Amino acid sequence: MSAMKWFLSFLKKYRGHMILGLILTIAISVLSTVNPYISGLIVDQVIRKGEVSKLMPLIGCLLGTTIIIGIIRFFYQVVFETASQGVLYDMRDKVYRKLLEEDFSFYNKKRTGDLMSRQTGDMDAIRHFVAYVIYSICQNALMLVFALFMIFTVNVKLALCMLVVLPFTAMCTIKQSKEVHPAFQRNRNCFSSLNTLVQENVSGNRVVKAFAKEEYEISKFEKENDKFYDAQVSASRIWMQYVPIFEVLSYVLTIILICYGGYMVIQGEITLGQLVTVNGYLWMLNVPLRMAGWLVNDTINFVTSVDKIYHTYKEEPEVKQPVSGVVKKQLQGEIEFKNVSYRADDEDIVTDIDFKVEPGQTVGIIGSTGAGKSTIMNLLCRFYDTTEGDVLVDGINVKDMDLYRLRDNIGIAMQDVFLFSDTIEGNIAYGRPESTFEDVKKAAIMADANHFIMGLPEKYDTIVGERGVGLSGGQKQRISLARALLKNPSILILDDTTSAVDMETESYIQEQLKHLPKNSTKFVIAYRISSIKDADMILVMDHGRIIERGTHEELVAAHGYYANAFHHQYGEIPEEIKRGGK
């Protein structure tokens, strides 16, 4: 499907609006001829001939027509605007849904500012086109055809002579379209870049300030701002060449009328009266010619934007909902990785991952930074699809499962905590918007978040900024944990969730996790041995592979990576502990 076809599929729904709008446009054009006619009557019959009695009825007609025209004019503009807002609404919806469907690989490559430009600036070009350009084109085309037809009825030779300008007009239109297209493309790209730059500057404002890089940011911005300026100005340099040509062409018609028309009258081929009639229709040819350049601009701008939006829209996610996925409301939580490997951009992220977990078990994952721990969890949630091997949940390949049901059964507290600019209650209830306040509070208590939340000025109604600014790292982690717990999931994933909380809080949380209402299968990714020590199975990862596995005791005894980490972290165990312990 081409971008244009895609656009038309949206416009189709508003066919009725468009047709009604066009009919009203024509009605207006016809009605506009009424008032000059009545004015003529007033001048001729009332003023010249003194038939005063006719004055009031004529004025009544004059006012009546004006009011009718006013109402129709208001109405048809509303009709077109409604259609355009409707198209936009539908298109925004479609694009938004698609954005929600796109997988992590898509977002790894796209800049936020670019994606936003599609939903804002580009949409605006479409609004303008549907609300204004379409009917302008029709109106002007109608005018042109009507006037030409009328002139033809007067005199074919004169009409043909006037037709001479049409090939020139067509040629200019085509040339302008071709030249202005890349200019508009550049415009859109510059707009995107500017958007991205501002967006990142705003999001990264803390880093900018911390490094006192304000001046650098401004100079970076200036560069984009200049580029945007250049793009706009150089685009105007193109239509600057064409718009005046159309202006001249419109005058050429007048010149033809004066010279050739005058010649024909002198030669007796037409009468003076006929020439006057043609002159009356001339403005109907002039206006469309003058508008041509601008309409070409608007149209190409629109085409460029539709292309841009469609280009983003048509990108298909690799991770897709299976056609008839297995719908399992409640998962047991049995998980098996069968020789799973995942590659991205020619880079092995994880290789030969093979393990099995029984429902209700706890798996600890530890390993160096970037070893692929989070990736394993992303494969389980099917944020990425495995390159080789299978991930089975309850014995079913995740690729064959209903994607949303799968994810709905998993509660994940991500390493990179993202909170929405919403109340704390809204953030905790993110996965279960329908849950009661009691449930939210219960989850917060389990995550040891209730205490600090109650200490905030507006408690659970406190709005946290985007990314949870204003909260400390540990507080954010606990909110994100509460969010995962509230789902009461069959599979619970804690990805480095307690790294920024103190030991006491962590042991409290661990105690809570043992008494979850559901016997969830748990994955705990951590760097602190204390976080995973009690796990039924500990996987030690390095460079995308599992290098050790076993329980805490087994691994300590094995004197490998895990034992090393253990000794580094707790090397010199204080005497009191040793005495008091074991």
Closer residue to another protein (CB): 151 or 194:
194
Tokens of 439: 């449930």
For position 149 contacting another protein by CB under 8 A, the verdict is no
CA distances from 36 to 25, 258, 470 (A): 18, 24, 68
Q: Which of 535, 519, 516 is nearest to 359 (CA)?
A: 519
Total residues contacting another protein by CB under 8 A comes to 186
For position 577 contacting another protein by CB under 8 A, the verdict is yes
Contacts with 549 (C-beta within 8 Å, 6 or more apart), sequence order: 355, 537, 538, 539, 540, 555
For position 507 contacting another protein by CB under 8 A, the verdict is yes
Q: How many Å apart are CA 446 and CA 494, to the nearest integer? A: 14
Closer residue to another protein (CB): 134 or 501:
501
Q: Give the burial class of 509: count Cβ atoms within 10 A of its Cβ; 0-12 exposed, 13-18 middle, 19 or more buried.
A: buried
Contacts (CB under 8 A) with another protein, residues 42-101: 42-43, 46-48, 50, 52, 55-56, 59, 62-63, 66-67, 69-71, 73-74, 77-78, 81-82, 85-86, 88-89, 92-93, 96-97, 99-101
For the window 200-239, what string marks contact with another protein as x by the rule CB under 8 A? xxxxxxxxxxxxxxxxxxx--xx--xx-xx--xx--xx-x
CB of 153 to another protein, least distance (A): 20
Closer residue to another protein (CB): 389 or 468:
468
Residue 171 dihedral angles phi and psi, to the nearest 5°? -60, -45
Judged by CB under 8 A, the residue of 248, 327, 454, 557 near another protein is: 248
Closer residue to another protein (CB): 100 or 323:
100
For position 321 contacting another protein by CB under 8 A, the verdict is no
CB of 569 to another protein, least distance (A): 6
Contacts (CB under 8 A) with another protein, residues 434-473: 452, 455, 457-458, 463-467, 469-473
> Looking at residue 13, what DSSP letter applies?
G
CB of 91 to another protein, least distance (A): 10
Judged by CB under 8 A, the residue of 25, 196, 299, 312 near another protein is: 196
Closer residue to another protein (CB): 44 or 358:
44
Contacts (CB under 8 A) with another protein, residues 351-380: 366-371, 373-374
What stretch of H or E contains 417? none
**Token pair 């661990």 in the structure block, residue:** 510
CA distances from 497 to 50, 523, 525 (A): 95, 11, 8
CA distances from 68 to 58, 61, 63, 530 (A): 15, 10, 9, 81
CB of 175 to another protein, least distance (A): 16
3-class DSSP state of 423: strand
